């Protein structure tokens, strides 16, 4: 049987307030939050955007959805988890500060902002899953403890997973630090000696102190490397190489198995919303926003696998090209295929347009 995925179309560059009005009409009309009970803690999991990014789902939508959840006498809050790589989002304090600067403060959303994995990303709970790589995964504790979950994701291209949407937001975005490390541990960067200028930027940013300089050339200690990819991001001289062909498929499978852990833990107490607007080549962790396809709309469903399959198809239909031609030329359907392989969700969907 096909999973129903609802689709609210939007015009290119349509105002966020108008999009929020459409989404509110859908949520109220379908009683989308019918699974939320009075006094429940309701986590809105999203990505608040890294410094210099623009694509993240705007606070106006959370203000509206939080208001609707409060009408059910429940207790909504905003949440995310710490990144592995250095920067504003690798612990709760500056992460919350950045989120507030991006408009996610209480004065704009009416929602408290509480990090799901604690102050430093180490508060976690284990969830048993029917995976092929893992039998249990480490998920940020508040994702599990909250009685209900609303996963709000921004569809983007992604340099390691092909695309990022609900599965990525759940799998990597809801994992604790140790869960994230487990996912990244197969990625192994190397230094292209001829290109390295010895500038030292990668040493500064490496969270594992795995890089040293020898004769003005960076050297990576692979036994210390956690595979976070930060050096690839910060090197301006294209001097860091990644063996993507050996890692991207495995990374996507690991992401999906962690996403499965979130879905298993929440059962029917979750709903998934993908925004196909401001779609960029890179995820919201990366600066240098560049829109790669006109805005499409919002997709809503109770199955994140069906939701992501539908989102991917709509983006490629709208662009008239595969995502590999729009973003990164790597296999990008591994997330969907692996979910099917482990019996997580259903990639077969029926798209129902909402006027």
- Binding residues for ligand SF4, per CB under 6 A? 189, 191, 196-202, 206-208, 210-211, 218, 220, 225-231, 234-235, 237, 239-240
Q: How far apart are CA 165 and CA 307, in angstroms?
A: 9
Nearer to ligand SF4, 286 or 293 (CB): 286
| Burial of residue 250 (number of CB atoms within 10 Å: 0-12, 13-18, 19+) | middle
Please say which residue, 137 or 235, places its beta carbon nearer to ligand SF4: 235
Q: Which is nearer to ligand SF4, 62 or 85 (CB)?
A: 85
What's the rounded Cα separation, in Å, for the pair 173 and 255? 9
Which of 147, 190 has the CB closer to ligand SF4?
190
Q: What minimum distance in Å lies between the beta carbon of 82 and ligand SF4?
A: 15
Residue closer to ligand SF4 by CB (options 109, 161) is 161
Per the document, the length of the chain is: 355
C-beta of 75 vs 218, nearer to ligand SF4? 218
Other CB atoms within 10 A of residue 186 CB: 15
Task: Name the minimum Å distance from CB 86 to ligand SF4.
Answer: 8
Q: What is the closest distance, in whole angstroms, from the C-beta atom of residue 196 to ligand SF4 in the complex?
A: 3
Task: Check if the beta carbon of residue 346 is closer than 8 Å to that of residue 176.
Answer: no
- The angle formed by the CA atoms of residues 26, 49 and 95, to the nearest 5 degrees, is 115
* Residues ≥6 apart with Cβ < 8 Å to 278: 54, 55, 154, 289, 291, 295
The least distance separating ligand SF4 from the CB of residue 271, rounded to whole angstroms, comes to 34
CB of 130 to ligand SF4, least distance (A): 30
Shortest Cβ 137–ligand SF4 spacing (Å): 21
Q: Please, what is the Cα angle at 46 between 43 and 243, to 5 degrees?
A: 130
């Amino acid at each position: 049987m096909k999973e129903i995925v609802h689709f609210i179309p939007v015009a290119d560059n349509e105002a966020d307030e108008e999009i929020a009005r459409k989404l509110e009409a859908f949520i109220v009309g379908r009683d989308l939050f019918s699974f939320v009970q009075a006094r429940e803690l309701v986590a809105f999991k999203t990505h608040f955007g890294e410094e210099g990014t623009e694509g993240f789902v705007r606070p106006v939508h959370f203000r509206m959805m939080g208001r609707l959840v409060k009408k059910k006498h429940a207790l909504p809050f905003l949440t995310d988890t710490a990144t592995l790589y250095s920067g504003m989002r690798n612990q709760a304090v500056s992460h919350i500060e950045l989120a507030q600067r991006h408009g996610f403060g209480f004065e704009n959303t009416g929602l408290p902002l509480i990090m799901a994995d604690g102050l430093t990303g180490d508060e976690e709970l284990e969830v048993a899953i029917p995976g092929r790589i893992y039998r249990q995964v480490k998920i940020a504790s508040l994702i599990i403890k909250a009685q209900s979950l609303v996963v709000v994701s921004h569809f983007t291209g992604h340099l390691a997973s092909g695309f990022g949407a609900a599965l990525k937001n759940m799998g990597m975005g809801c994992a604790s630090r140790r869960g994230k490390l487990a996912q990244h541990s197969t990625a192994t960067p190397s230094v292209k000696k001829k290109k390295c200028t010895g500038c030292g930027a990668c040493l500064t940013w490496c969270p594992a102190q795995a890089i040293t300089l020898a004769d003005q050339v960076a050297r990576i200690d692979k036994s210390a490397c956690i595979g976070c990819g930060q050096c690839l991001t910060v090197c301006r001289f294209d001097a860091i190489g990644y063996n993507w062909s050996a890692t991207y498929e495995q990374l996507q499978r690991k992401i999906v198995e962690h996403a499965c852990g979130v879905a298993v833990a929440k059962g029917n107490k979750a709903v998934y919303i993908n925004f196909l607007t401001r779609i960029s080549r890179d995820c919201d962790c990366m600066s240098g926003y560049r829109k790669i396809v006109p805005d499409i709309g919002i997709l809503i469903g109770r199955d994140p696998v069906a939701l992501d399959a539908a989102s991917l198809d709509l983006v490629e239909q709208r662009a008239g090209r595969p995502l590999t031609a729009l973003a990164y030329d790597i296999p990008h359907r591994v997330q969907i295929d692996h979910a099917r392989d482990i019996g997580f969700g259903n990639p077969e969907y029926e798209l129902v347009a909402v006027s």
